[in-house]
Structure 1
Amino acid sequence: MTPTHPTSLRFELLLLGVLACLWGSSYLLIKVALGSIPPTTLMAFRVALAALFLLAVMRFRGERLPTDSLSWRRLFVQSLLNSSLAWLVLAWGAQYVPSGLAGVLNSTSPLFVFLITALMGANGNHSITKSVGVALGFVGVVLVVGVDALQGFGQQALAQAAVLFGAFLYACAALNGKRLAHLSPLVTATGTMLWAALTLVPLSIVIDQPWTIRPSLNAMLAATTLSLLCTGVALIVYFRLIKTLGPMGVASQSYLRAGISVLLGLVVLGEQLSPTVLMGLVIIIAGVAMINVPQKKTPSTQLKP
């Protein structure tokens, strides 16, 4: 997919890298925050603060929320696919699935986008180059995470299915996001977070009684960063990229997230970079590049290199 207005492919790919960095670092922040904040309350805090932040940005920019019921119904569906339901399913499954295998399973969103569009008869939009890129990206993730991570595949089948279902929901979110093209990325991000907050905050109150929780300072800092940067800012970028790179392009950031987690391990934990991991990173970058190569169109609709 290419936008109808000229834009720089390099800039959109830079934004894709930014999105991967934001969502790739969210795993580390979640781990820190979960030290003293229960999962449901953490998710509720994440979306509620993000919604308030996005509302403030909207006010500053002079944008308004939609007033028609159709837009709000579509925003509700998007919030389930991209946050509320997806996060709950992934959080439950990740408790019982080794982190390496969970990382591989959670990176399958581009594969699901490819399969869904094939079933819908829309794979004419995917060139051979993009198809090879989808396969390469997944192979790269397996190499980065470690082939040994696949040894547990088939055990704890229900939990693994839950993680896969979460990746499937992310793929559906990328495809469904096109139905919100009439709204700006900021308005779409705000609307989805408002719906997510209305869903998760009551759930948190019932399950965790959050007023009894005494989170540590580090947990609160991690949760706040997770909410403002990895959710609020990230969603604005995400919904922009759905318009410019398309569902497959934006889904390809799930491959890059694996590379980001490795780089964070190098910087934060002092881990070593093995030749296999390095090869996996190169393959991931090649796969993502192939996915996002613009197809030949008329000069007026092409992304500028």
Structure 2
Amino acid sequence: MSAAVSRMSLVRLIALGLIWGSVFLFIKIAGYSFSPVQMVFARLVLGAIVLLPFVYSRGGRLPKGGAIWGHLTVAALLGNAIPWVLFAWGEQHGSSSVAGVVNSTTPLWTIVGAYVLGQDRKLTATKIGGVLFGMVGTIIIAAPWHAGSAGSTSSIVAFVVGTVSLGASFAYMGKFLAGRGIPPLTLAAAQLTAASALLLVAMPFAGLQPVHLRADALIAIAVLGPICTGIAYVLNFQLITKDGPTVASTVTYLFPIVSVALGALVLSEPAGWPLYVGAIVSVAGVMLVRRKPKAAAQASSPSPAPAAAKG
């Protein structure tokens, strides 16, 4: 790899890490005006508005057929509707820093989901250890021995359930949507479209609360949709196709750093030792589950992986 390519890879990686790591800050700010369902619906629609023209400008088109859209709807439910609403709801009373750190454990739950779906029946000691590390890290962050250290219990539960759902969506997409010859960016655009439809259905039941407009909340929505959802997918697609999935996967390690830093600097959120120690333990777990034996790493090809949504 040339030095120029290496520099561009680093630029793309840092840009995506900053964008996706800042999601939790903007979710917190958008929550000052919008309910969770309102926020997620706006984010999905704005993200789809960015992605769909990009897909069609490259000669692509949305997939056809009831079966594929059925799978896309399930992926949208698991990967967008459920986790994004839960994170938005949890941040109403919880910390954006904690949300970002818990979200970084998504790869651990992807491993569990892949095992449940029969995709990976070879759970090595390293992978099992990684999952256990992640669980321990989450417990440390929750700090049940120190009530209120990381936010309300309900917010922690919402973050964990949302992350498990997100991990399950990766596994589901790997089983039912990958390998169909559909570009990852097209899958992402289609998934956002399906998720927008799901939230539109939910709006009459959970999205009609009064909106108290604030400038900072409107700016947060404008960033969450087009940038954190739409443009971020384009960057992720470029990372996968130009730099390989191994490089793209390392963006996960930047989430907790960015979310904790922004939470402390912008929102003045308390970040005691449980958050820092839990983040380190959780990231160590993610590194373990993503570690491949040398022989397997050499044999694997850098084929694009399906894009999926972050928290």
TM-score in terms of structure 2 length: 0.70
Structure 2 spans left out of the alignment, 5+ residues: 304-311
2:135 aligned with 1:172: no
1:200 matched to which residue of 2? 199
Which whole-Å CA distance do the structure 1 matches of 2:39 and 2:156 have between them?
22
Aligned residues: 291
Residue 47 of structure 1: how far off its partner (Å): 0.5
String of CA shifts for 1:10-41, please: whole Å, max 9, x gaps: 99998776555333211111122222223222
Which whole-Å CA distance do the structure 1 matches of 2:280 and 2:14 have between them?
14
2:300 matched to which residue of 1? 301
Residue 173 of structure 1: how far off its partner (Å): 0.4
2:27 aligned with 1:27: no
String of CA shifts for 1:229-270, please: whole Å, max 9, x gaps: 221233456678899659xx96993x6533322222455467
Whether the 8 Å CA contact 2:34–2:211 is kept in 1: the answer is yes
2:44 aligned with 1:47: yes
1:4 matched to which residue of 2? none
Whether the 8 Å CA contact 1:185–1:236 is kept in 2: the answer is no
Q: State the secondary structure of the residue aligned to 1:215.
A: coil
Which whole-Å CA distance do the structure 2 matches of 1:201 and 1:282 have between them?
38
Which whole-Å CA distance do the structure 2 matches of 1:125 and 1:13 have between them?
33
Amino acid at match of 2:68: S
Q: Which piece of structure 1 moves more, 229-238 or 74-83?
A: 229-238
Which whole-Å CA distance do the structure 1 matches of 2:145 and 2:47 have between them?
34
Structure 1 spans left out of the alignment, 5+ residues: 1-7
Residue 92 of structure 1: how far off its partner (Å): 4.2
Whether the 8 Å CA contact 2:36–2:89 is kept in 1: the answer is no
Whether the 8 Å CA contact 2:136–2:281 is kept in 1: the answer is yes
Which whole-Å CA distance do the structure 1 matches of 2:277 and 2:158 have between them?
29
Which whole-Å CA distance do the structure 1 matches of 2:170 and 2:58 have between them?
25
The root-mean-square deviation of aligned C-alpha atoms, in Å, is 4.5
Between the two proteins, what is the percent identity of the paired residues? 29
Whether the 8 Å CA contact 1:40–1:208 is kept in 2: the answer is yes
Amino acid at match of 2:196: A
Alignment of 1:36-185 (within 5 A): 36-92=33-89, 95=92, 108-120=105-117, 123-139=120-136, 145=141, 147=143, 151=147, 161-178=157-174, 179-181=176-178, 182=180, 183-185=182-184
Which whole-Å CA distance do the structure 2 matches of 1:159 and 1:283 have between them?
20
TM-score in terms of structure 1 length: 0.71
Tell me: CA distance 1:76–1:239, structure 2 relative to 1, closer, same or farther (3 Å): farther
